[in-house]
Amino acid sequence: MQAAATPLIDVRKRSLNIEMIFHEGGPRVSRPILVASACAVIRNPYAGRYEPDLLPFMEAVKPIGASLAEELVRSLGKDQVEPTARPRSSA
């Protein structure tokens, strides 16, 4: 699946990781815990220079994050997903 690229965003690569945890030093679980992560490597259009307004860039990458999250949910199965991280505050 390819995220829609805008002139500002150039996705170089994407990665999905699904880890199956059977135990972490404690008793073995009957059903493994799945821990998933996703990332994208993008070209920095501002590399090597000062850019006073990064808000357009931040808005442009939001669809990539949404696409990665949707892909993770599809990969795991919706019934397997329980979010554990809170979105970062922009304040």
Residue 8 has pLDDT above 90, yes or no: no
Q: Is residue 4 part of a domain?
A: no
**Band of pLDDT at residue 4, cut at 50, 70 and 90:** low
The overall pTM is greater than 0.85:
no
Residue 15, domain extent:
11-44+53-79
Q: What is the mean pLDDT of the chain?
A: 85
Measured in degrees and rounded to the nearest 5, phi and psi for residue 87 equal -60, 145
Query: What confidence score (pLDDT) does residue 2 get?
Result: 54
Give the mean pLDDT of 29-34.
Answer: 88
Q: Is residue 86 part of a domain?
A: no
Q: Is residue 85 part of a domain?
A: no
- Of 61, 52, 65, which is closest to residue 8 (Cα–Cα)? 61
